Structure 1
Amino acid sequence: MEQPAAGDRSTAVPSLDPSQASLATGSYYRHRIVEDPEWSLATVPRLTELCLQHIVRNFQNNPILDRLLPGHRRKVLDRLSTSLPLAVTANLINDEGYWKRCCTERWRVCDISNHGDSWKRMFFERHLENILKRFIPNTTDPNQVLELIPLCKDYVRKLEVDQFLPPVQVDRKEERDDLSDTGSDFGFGEVSVHHYDLGVLNPALPHLEELHLTYGVKNCGMNFEWNLFNFTHQDCCNLAVAVKMCPNLKVFKLTQSKVDDEKTGLLVRNLLDHPCLVELSLAHNLVRDKGARALGELIERSRLETLDLCNNQIRHLGAQALAQALADNPTLTSLNLRLNCVEDQGGEAIGRALLTNATLKSLHLGSNNLSEPTAALFSQVLAQNTTLTSINFSCNRLGLDGGKQLLEGLADNKALTEFDLRLAEVGEETEHLVHQMVWANREAARRGCPQHPPAKPL
């Protein structure tokens, strides 16, 4: 082999035959391909993107939001987990998009129209409702509610709790034996079945405007016991105090809870001077005449606009007490007495009150065992009253003559736009004629046509 000359800085390269040179070259290129198999043209993420990812990952420990630019804030909110602690998100995040994700991921059906068209309000109202529905006295940690109150108090305006669980009984058999010894066939005895005390919760919700409650247990199945549906005297005392301490409460509904006359009186005493209450419902309870008299006093002293007493046990004495309060009442616009038994004595008393009342717009007297005398008096009401827009006499026994008298009274009435006489035994022809006249009034009201001037009361 030839030696390089002295002073020559070039490196000696051994000579290779053509076949070896070709093999060496091929090996070189194959080595380059295997060296970086994942090589691509993708660019490295921007520093801004890496920062946003870090903020999202560490949001629970270091919530950074207000200091971000609007576009960056939007990206962070879209990526935040809906399982973050409420202590972090409640008072920091007001973005409706985030709370919409929280709601839709948790509940299958979401209707924000029942929650002021606000996703955040819906989340906190339903979240608190779910905790109250599952709260077991003496078992559930009260801090579940107490710790949530500071987080949700600015957003909760309506609560609908259709279940209250009683305390867990240690020995159900022993309890049933005790009840049978006292002669209680239905288990109505109040044996430590007091429910969650809303007196702890309601005063801490300054914006609460609507409260819908049912004291009972849903889906109890084979575990059914009468005591699961017992609204005790202590429950009523606690609730009455709680409602009185909600100065902004406008709507209060306590339904299907076995509210009797005594409990009605207790509630009314705490509602007499309530500054904001405009709607009260005690539907599907056990209110009788004494309770109705207490409610009559409430009508006289409060600003109540809607009273629903559907499906109770009010008879003519209770209806007469309500009628007396209604005669000169300046605020009540809706009264529902469906599924009671006021009979003609009660129906006539209400009719006479409506000859002077100039406020009530809706009256429901369906299924009250009414007959022709009530129809005869309401014929005068229809001829004179210009305020009533809706009357329901369905499922009574007004008779053919009663129907004709109502038709006569309706002849010059231009205010009534709803008149239900189904199953009232007035005859198909009368029903048809009444329907035509009411439909004409409704069309005239829709077009804004002037009505007859109001008649002077008797």
Structure 2
Amino acid sequence: MKFPNTLDFNTYQAYFCSRHLSNDENRQLDAINLEWDRNSPDPLKTLCLNAIANNWPTIPFFREIPLCEDRHYLLDLLDLDFPLEILCSRVRNDAFWKRAYVKRWKNRYPINIDGKPWIRIYLEQHITDTLENMKPGEFDQEGFQKLADLCSLHVKELKLNQLQPSTGESGDHIPLDSVLSNLRELRRVDITYDVKNAGHNFYLGCATITEKDIKLMTQGLERCYELTEFRLHSTKLEPTMMKRLASAMDKGCPNITTIAFPHCRCGDVGLRAFFEALSPDSLPNVQQVILTNNFLSSESILDLVHLIRRRPVEHLDLRLNPILTEGAISVLTMIFYLPLKELNLSCCSIDEQIEDFLLMTIRFNTSIEVLNFSSNPLGEAMGEKLVARVSENKKLQQFDLRNTDISPEVRAVIDEVVIKNRTPHSLSHW
């Protein structure tokens, strides 16, 4: 190998240390430390990008910058406290909005992103925080209209874990008609009128939904033409409220696939009121029905069976409802007419009289993938019969029999048989 014995002049200039400019004849190049010459000016391009970043509100240049590497450098320099209106209108870069989100919500990293752009994640969380912390008396129609105009193109999911209680006698919350009707791209709505940090304004019943609340919410729901999922959590719903909700979804949500009222205590009367507001052709695309803990009995289950057997329901959740064995038999008889994939009858006061119908379902049904009969006194004798039937079923992928008086050894055998039906993809899902 031949080593060079000369040094290019430009290379010499690049490594020439300015602090050694003296009359010292022993001065040397400092080629090991690349940070030795700190007095050298920044490149002109860097100075320009710094100037643009510092004056962004007055000169919001971004698309005008031709090189991608310069745009990325500018995004690293931008102050995240600049007005959100300017940032949203000029910047779509995922890395920038991820940096903005992580800085603002350090302890609330999103889950199940599923390829969503970070500007959407940021704005959905921004509007959620704004509405959850807004007191009813502070709601400004004009101010919210500006917020909706800013977020409407990006916000497809609205999840409100709480709403601030009213300090007045009416008990009304912020009006959701403006919220729902102005977010034109909404696909999923998840709301609870519960309260978690009422502070000094707490009083019994402060989280109770009022007739005015439900009236305004349903007026907004009628304009959610793109909505596919509606969930209302932990809110006491009267029969008149259930009727309003059904009418609003029938009128304004033709594409809805998921209806969920978990822990809403609507009872048999409330569920019947919901059904009475629907026609045989209403809500034709419903695939998920979630009615967890609503004080339902076997009487209302018959009405539910007659309604959903005309719809392509794939997921039915009735857990924590005392439907008894009679109600469970109605459900198991009905599922042969549905493409049902998941059925949850956990803690429904079902006893060993369900045996023949459950065995028939496991043997002949070809669509069920998930069955949950946990926390029901099915009896120890049913275990061995279930083992024989489960071995004949090649579709079932999960069968929950915890707290059913069936021995752990038998449940282990059933789990081992069911696991064999899972594909590698479904196995990773569980």
Contact 2:378/2:406 (8 A) holds in 1: yes
Helix, strand or coil at the partner of 1:216: coil
Contact 1:112/1:118 (8 A) holds in 2: no
Q: Which residue of 2 aligns with 1:226?
A: 204
| Deviations, residues 342-396 of structure 1 (Å, cap 9, x unaligned) | 0011111111112x32401110001111012222212112221111111111111
1: distance between equivalents of 2:112 and 2:92?
18
Q: CA deviation at 1:45?
A: 4.0
Helix, strand or coil at the partner of 1:51: helix
Q: CA deviation at 1:272?
A: 2.6
**Structure 2 CA distance for partners of 1:317 and 1:202, relative to 1, 3 Å:** same
Instruction: Write the mapping of 1:302-451 to structure 2, written as runs, cut at 5 A.
Output: 302=283, 303-326=285-308, 328-354=309-335, 356-442=336-422
Q: Which residue of 1 aligns with 2:231?
A: 253
TM-score (norm 2): 0.83
Q: Which residue of 2 aligns with 1:55?
A: 52
My pick for the range that moved more, 112-121 or 96-105, is 112-121
Contact 1:299/1:325 (8 A) holds in 2: no
Instruction: Write the mapping of 1:145-184 to structure 2, written as runs, cut at 5 A.
Output: 145-169=144-168
Q: CA deviation at 1:246?
A: 0.6
2: distance between equivalents of 1:50 and 1:437?
68
Contact 1:154/1:207 (8 A) holds in 2: yes
Q: Which residue of 2 aligns with 1:35?
A: none
Q: Which residue of 2 aligns with 1:128?
A: 127
1: distance between equivalents of 2:156 and 2:426?
33
Q: Which residue of 2 aligns with 1:270?
A: 248
Q: Which residue of 2 aligns with 1:181?
A: none
Q: Which amino acid aligns with 1:384?
A: F
Helix, strand or coil at the partner of 1:366: coil
2: distance between equivalents of 1:260 and 1:411?
45
1: distance between equivalents of 2:247 and 2:259?
14
Contact 1:292/1:319 (8 A) holds in 2: no
Q: CA deviation at 1:444?
A: 9.7
Q: CA deviation at 1:213?
A: 0.6
How many residues in Structure 1 have an aligned counterpart in Structure 2?
A: 386
Unaligned runs of 5+ in 2: 1-22, 24-36
1: distance between equivalents of 2:187 and 2:173?
22
**Aligned counterpart in structure 2 of residue 293 of structure 1, from 272, 281, 301:** 272
TM-score (norm 1): 0.78
**Structure 2 CA distance for partners of 1:116 and 1:232, relative to 1, 3 Å:** farther
Aligned identity (percent) is 26
| Deviations, residues 376-428 of structure 1 (Å, cap 9, x unaligned) | 21211222111111111111111134444444543422211111111112334
Over aligned residue pairs, what C-alpha RMSD do you find?
2.5
2: distance between equivalents of 1:434 and 1:446?
18
Q: Which residue of 2 aligns with 1:137?
A: 136
**Structure 2 CA distance for partners of 1:299 and 1:83, relative to 1, 3 Å:** farther
Q: Which residue of 2 aligns with 1:455?
A: none
Q: Which amino acid aligns with 1:278?
A: T
**Structure 2 CA distance for partners of 1:299 and 1:372, relative to 1, 3 Å:** farther
Unaligned runs of 5+ in 1: 1-28, 30-39, 170-190, 448-458
2: distance between equivalents of 1:445 and 1:45?
53
Contact 1:320/1:346 (8 A) holds in 2: yes
Q: Which residue of 1 aligns with 2:73?
A: 75
Q: CA deviation at 1:314?
A: 0.4
Q: CA deviation at 1:330?
A: 4.4
2: distance between equivalents of 1:299 and 1:376?
34
Helix, strand or coil at the partner of 2:300: helix
1: distance between equivalents of 2:95 and 2:390?
53
Q: Which amino acid aligns with 2:287?
A: E
**Structure 2 CA distance for partners of 1:442 and 1:278, relative to 1, 3 Å:** same
| Deviations, residues 210-254 of structure 1 (Å, cap 9, x unaligned) | 111110211335653223211111111111121221111111111
1: distance between equivalents of 2:425 and 2:85?
52
Helix, strand or coil at the partner of 1:248: coil
2: distance between equivalents of 1:132 and 1:105?
20
Contact 1:379/1:406 (8 A) holds in 2: yes
1: distance between equivalents of 2:166 and 2:426?
54
2: distance between equivalents of 1:228 and 1:398?
41
Q: Which amino acid aligns with 2:403?
A: L
1: distance between equivalents of 2:241 and 2:73?
54
Q: CA deviation at 1:131?
A: 0.7
Q: CA deviation at 1:69?
A: 2.2
My pick for the range that moved more, 337-346 or 429-438, is 429-438
Q: Which amino acid aligns with 1:281?
A: A
Q: Which amino acid aligns with 1:73?
A: R
1: distance between equivalents of 2:38 and 2:346?
78
My pick for the range that moved more, 62-71 or 199-208, is 62-71
Q: Which residue of 2 aligns with 1:84?
A: 82
Q: Which residue of 2 aligns with 1:98?
A: 96
Q: Which residue of 1 aligns with 2:170?
A: 192
Helix, strand or coil at the partner of 1:91: helix
**Structure 2 CA distance for partners of 1:129 and 1:443, relative to 1, 3 Å:** closer
2: distance between equivalents of 1:87 and 1:162?
26
Q: Which residue of 1 aligns with 2:185?
A: 207
Q: Which amino acid aligns with 2:147?
A: L
| Deviations, residues 303-323 of structure 1 (Å, cap 9, x unaligned) | 111111111100111112122
1: distance between equivalents of 2:182 and 2:89?
17
**Which of the two has higher C-alpha Rg?**
1
